[in-house]
Structure 1
Amino acid sequence: MGFFHRNTSKQTSRVKKLLELALSRLAMAQRPRLARKSISRGDVSQLLALGHLHRALLRAERVIEEDNMLQAFDIIELYCKRLIEHAAELDKPQECSENIREAAAGIMFAARWCSDLPELLLARTILADKFGSDFAETAKEGTGIVDPMLVWKLSGDKTTMELKKKVTKEIAAESNILVDFSEL
């Protein structure tokens, strides 16, 4: 019994270290995405000023993609911090609170979508061992306890025409440019 308990504590310690590494890498991964988002917003503004509405809408798609990934990073950061703070609960996965289970499921789901954070793949393996294969499969699919907002931000078609128009309008308003979508 003592051997298994010690092994679990070692795994918990490893997950904690991996999540701490993921947090530090997350800060680095956000910087280029913020820069790309800013550049894309500038491009949309310039394209609108030149009267290239269709091209501006295409560029707005990039703004949306970067913004979604940045928002997903915020959720992942929250989950990493939650699991680090409550790592002791991971030693008894059956007794984990709903918040810890949601954080673990979120990390397991995000691991597939965030190539910027390779530590999440290793953490997912350990969390799958702790919570079981059924929980891991459900989490990897993005169903069940995984936050639907995280699933939506990381996967699926997020750039509808209405959303592109909304972002384009916002950027146009910031630049004092009138936009007429009737010509589309």
Structure 2
Amino acid sequence: MPAQFPLAKFKVELKLASSRLQFLQAKHNSLATKARRDIALLLEANKHASAEIRVEGIIREDLHVEAMEIVELYCELLCTRAGLIDQAQNDAGLGEAIHSVIYASSRVEVKELPRIRDMLGAKYGKELVKKAMSNEDGLVNERLLKKLSLDPPSKALVRMYLKEIAAAYSVDWVHDDSDDGKPSGGLGVLADVSPPAEVDEVEAESEEIEESEGSKEPEDAKEPESDDAQLPSPPTTMASLPSVPTSKNANNPATSANNPTPVVVRAKKPLSPVKKPLKKTPSPAKPESKQSATDDGTPSMDDLQRRFNALKGL
């Protein structure tokens, strides 16, 4: 004889699950509001790539909150119709609710849902639980399947979220539709863009002006056919060399028609050997003679002796 279904405990678990789902929805909504504000700051700072990555997390959180809303509705439905579950005859209207709650029990962070799944498994068998977990019978709510899907959000949905966030926080942001969203690695491909007609007309006029100016150039401005024809032939002998002027004006020759740029030629002086100065040996200082004269002009005895010796020599 099968065990009796714990109807009272089943209803308590459903009510606790509904309350916890409501609390989690409010928590996720508050976190999403703060995340939206951060994304608005990224858009204002022109950090579009970071904003797109962050907004994917917000989209996933919003989808998870919507999935919790669906599961909450099914928990309330099962709590209301709990008396039908206790009956021997199965109710066809409860099939989608039972399969959806079992499917979400391992995908939503509510600890009461696994206990509800075990109670339903004890009532309807483990085979039903296995089929509901993989949606083998296709009775799980389609909206719930999409909300709990692990597929990344589409680019269109990401851009729509960014546009709404920018509008909500008054951020001037316009998405470039030509951007495919793939990183270029810093190497872009230039598009084949033809210049406007006005640019072509201006270029054509400038080319005509250059051609007309080129045709009006004077003949004197033309380059000679050969530069070698105007250069004088170099002298072949020493006699044909020009003599260097020796006058005083040779260092400053005057400009003439034949010599528009005179060149000053200075004669080189022969180098003479440099004589080193002879070192002079200092002569011994003569001893100072004694006082040659007295203060009154009278010759001293030494002067008289020298004079006497000089007279004797004569």
TM-score normalized with structure 1 length? 0.87
Task: Give CA deviations for 1:41-77 in whole Å, capped at 9, x if unaligned.
Answer: 1112111111111111111112101111110111011
The answer to whether the aligner puts 1:63 opposite 2:58 as a matched pair is: yes
Q: For residue 14 of structure 1, what is the aligned residue in structure 2?
A: 9
Task: State the 1:12 CA deviation.
Answer: 2.4
Paired residue for 1:76, among 63, 71, 74? 71
Q: For residue 134 of structure 1, what is the aligned residue in structure 2?
A: 127
Counterpart CA distance in 1 for 2:125 and 2:139 is: 14
CA contact (8 A) 2:59 2:153 kept: yes
Note closer, same or farther for the CA distance 1:12–1:172 as it changes in structure 2 (3 Å cut): same
Task: State the 1:156 CA deviation.
Answer: 2.0
Note closer, same or farther for the CA distance 1:57–1:82 as it changes in structure 2 (3 Å cut): same
Structure 1 residue runs without a partner (length 5+): none
Task: State the 1:94 CA deviation.
Answer: 4.4
CA contact (8 A) 2:21 2:69 kept: no
What's the % identity of the aligned pairs? 31
Aligned partner of 1:122: which letter?
Answer: R
Q: For residue 103 of structure 2, what is the aligned residue in structure 1?
A: 109
Task: State the 1:135 CA deviation.
Answer: 2.2
Aligned partner of 2:161: which letter?
Answer: V
- Runs of 4 or more consecutive aligned structure 1 residues displaced over 4 Å after TM superposition: none
Q: For residue 155 of structure 1, what is the aligned residue in structure 2?
A: 149
Task: Give CA deviations for 1:81-107 in whole Å, capped at 9, x if unaligned.
Answer: 000001011113642132x21111111
Counterpart CA distance in 1 for 2:146 and 2:97 is: 16
TM-score normalized with structure 2 length? 0.53
Q: For residue 85 of structure 1, what is the aligned residue in structure 2?
A: 80
Aligned partner of 2:155: which letter?
Answer: M
Counterpart CA distance in 1 for 2:163 and 2:117 is: 40
Task: Give CA deviations for 1:16-56 in whole Å, capped at 9, x if unaligned.
Answer: 11111111211221222111111111112111111111111
CA contact (8 A) 2:10 2:119 kept: yes
Counterpart CA distance in 2 for 1:65 and 1:93 is: 40
Q: Which has the higher helix share?
A: 1
CA contact (8 A) 2:42 2:50 kept: yes
CA contact (8 A) 1:172 1:179 kept: no
Please, what is the CA RMSD of the aligned residues? Answer: 1.8
CA contact (8 A) 2:14 2:75 kept: yes
Counterpart CA distance in 2 for 1:83 and 1:124 is: 12
Aligned partner of 2:58: which letter?
Answer: V
Counterpart CA distance in 2 for 1:174 and 1:93 is: 54
Paired residue for 1:120, among 113, 118, 124? 113
SS for the counterpart of 1:25 is helix
SS for the counterpart of 1:51 is coil
Q: Which moved more, 1:70-79 or 1:24-33?
A: 24-33
Q: For residue 28 of structure 1, what is the aligned residue in structure 2?
A: 23
